[in-house]
Amino acid sequence: MSETLYKAELGETASDIKARRLHQPRRIVIIGGGFAGVAAARALRRCNAEVILIDRRNHHIFQPLLYQVATAILAPSEVAAPIRQLARRQKNLSVMLAEVTGVDLRSRSVDADCPGVGVRKVSFDYLVIALGVQPSYFGHDEFAKYAPSLKTLTDAEAIRAKILGAYEFAESAEDPSERARRMTFVLVGAGPTGVELAASIAHIATITLRANFRRIDPAKTSILLFEGAPRILPSFAESLSKKVAKRLEKLGVKVVTGAKVERVDEQGVVAGKRIESATVLWTAGVAPSPIVKMLGIQTDRAGRACVGPFLDHPNDSPIFVIGDLAAVTQDGRALPGVAQVAIQQGRYVGRLISAEIKGRKTPRPFRYFDKGNMAVVGKHFAVLERGSIRLSGFMPWLVWVLIHVMFLPQLQNRLRVQTQWLWTYFTGQRSSRIIAEAPRGDE
């Protein structure tokens, strides 16, 4: 481990920071090991600089397939990879397991809270903030206790246990109304995650669990998908939205649009009327990390940082904000918070910083190349939108499968996911139907 990194991990004094800036390579600190952070780090692999990637998790999650962990198709290890493993061949990159709790723009340092060690200051010459978003309950944080969201592997495993456990409890229940409540699933939010999750639960009910129980019929499961907007998938064209709604209805999902969820509790939800449900899942809004507020930067209505054309802080150019935290408008439209936007922004900022350090001409202002937007709705059906091109059905589904396999973080992830998908495709079964036991002390 280099002397400078050793000091970074143990906390630098003011004199340490001054000496390092005079004699050592530039230090680039990247906060966040998601799509944007990893892409920025990789783009800096040939740069003569010290790159430190800080994340509170030791793994990178392939977020688009997280819903498949929640519905028992894939295991957590199949959609995630250790960040250190991704960085093993990049000699100028070091990884720090810590949560950034503060940013000091004057001293050019961040406060990193390292588990078991405490808070340490890490100085920087360039700072790239690539943190993701967290769930937003629109001012009703009390809903979180009864309606889990889907952002982390822990969330996915908790939802998986909740879904599978609902059928186990229903099998044991004597009261018919309690059985019906256990077999009623409510999803709040009909964006891509909500749609994909609802379709996957429908497949569990009608295919995977068929003939698995003796006292209940999983095919009688009730799945309700609520959306506050006039239609589902509001970010897609209306024609595709209608096709997806029709497909969901065919799978047994009841779509309710223009609905406002007023209350969520242990008995279910209130959305105009009470719906008894033991499993409510939150797939609605998101909120940016509170780190944005520490930057002294203007934010949009959603709380995202209004960055400059180079994705930098308008008043502090060595600081960049990318990914879900950045509010970027292109051709009059805000860029969506999807993986491709984050990856392209990460690569751009990495190359821009590298060019500056090498004394080369910096790239043109960032411009997103739209490769299209996709959502999958169960087996054999997906929608694709790219500009004026709008497709639905089997071919977009096949494209979706190929793209997602290609972009998985490691070869072993690709091989294992392909194997699991083939098994599920031909048998209808899911290999991760595990409900973890609670620790003895919690029983």
pLDDT at 107: 92
Written as one string, the DSSP assignment of 57-82 is SSEEE-GGGHHHHHTTSS-GGGSEEE
| Rounded Cα–Cα distance for residues 321 and 40 (Å) | 11
Give me the residue spans of the domains in the chain: 3-56+98-135+286-358, 141-284+373-432
pLDDT of residue 315: 86
- Runs of H (alpha helix) within 262-365: 339-358
| Strand ranges of the sheet holding 118-123, from the earlier edge strand across to the other edge | 99-104, 109-114, 118-123
The string over 279-298, giving b where at least 16 C-beta atoms fall within 10 Å of a residue's C-beta and e elsewhere, is: bbbbbbbbbbbebbebbebe
Sign of dihedral through CA atoms 37, 42, 46, 52?
A: positive
User: Superfamily for 3-56+98-135+286-358?
Assistant: FAD/NAD(P)-binding domain (3.50.50.60)
CA distance 439 to 371: 45
Pairing of strands 373-376, 333-334: unpaired
pLDDT of residue 22: 55
The CATH number that domain 141-284+373-432 falls under is 3.50.50.100
Contact call for residues 85 and 175 (beta carbons, < 8 A): no
The pLDDT assigned to 206 comes to: 96
Same fold, 3-56+98-135+286-358 and 141-284+373-432: yes
* 306, HSE (Cβ side, Cα atoms, 13 Å): 8
Other CB atoms within 10 Å distance of the CB of residue 194? 24
Q: How many helices (H) and strands (E) does the chain have?
A: 12, 27
pLDDT for 439 = 75
CA 272, CA 261: separation in Å to the nearest integer? 8
Which run of H or E residues covers position 96? strand 93-97
The answer to whether 41 touches 47, Cβ cutoff 8 Å, is: no
The two most distant CA atoms of the chain are separated, in Å, by 74
Q: What is the model's pLDDT at position 187?
A: 98
- The whole-angstrom separation of Cα 412 and Cα 101 is 34
pLDDT tens across the length of the chain (443 residues): 344 444 444 455 555 655 555 568 999 999 999 999 999 999 999 999 999 999 999 999 999 999 999 999 999 999 999 999 988 889 999 999 999 999 999 999 999 999 999 999 999 999 999 998 999 999 999 999 999 999 999 999 999 999 999 999 999 999 999 999 999 999 999 999 999 999 999 999 999 999 999 999 999 999 999 999 999 999 999 999 999 999 999 999 999 999 999 999 999 999 999 999 999 999 998 899 999 989 989 999 889 999 999 999 998 779 999 999 999 999 988 999 899 999 999 999 999 999 999 999 888 999 999 989 999 999 999 999 998 999 999 999 999 999 999 999 999 999 999 999 999 999 999 989 999 887 776 55
What CA–CA distances, in Å, run from 56 to 7, 40, 151, 406, 407?
A: 19, 18, 14, 26, 23
Query: 178 an active-site residue?
Result: no
Q: How many CA atoms lie within 13 A of 417 on its CB side?
A: 25
Nearest to 404 by CA among 376, 379, 429: 376
Q: Which of 78, 157, 196, 385 is catalytic?
A: 196
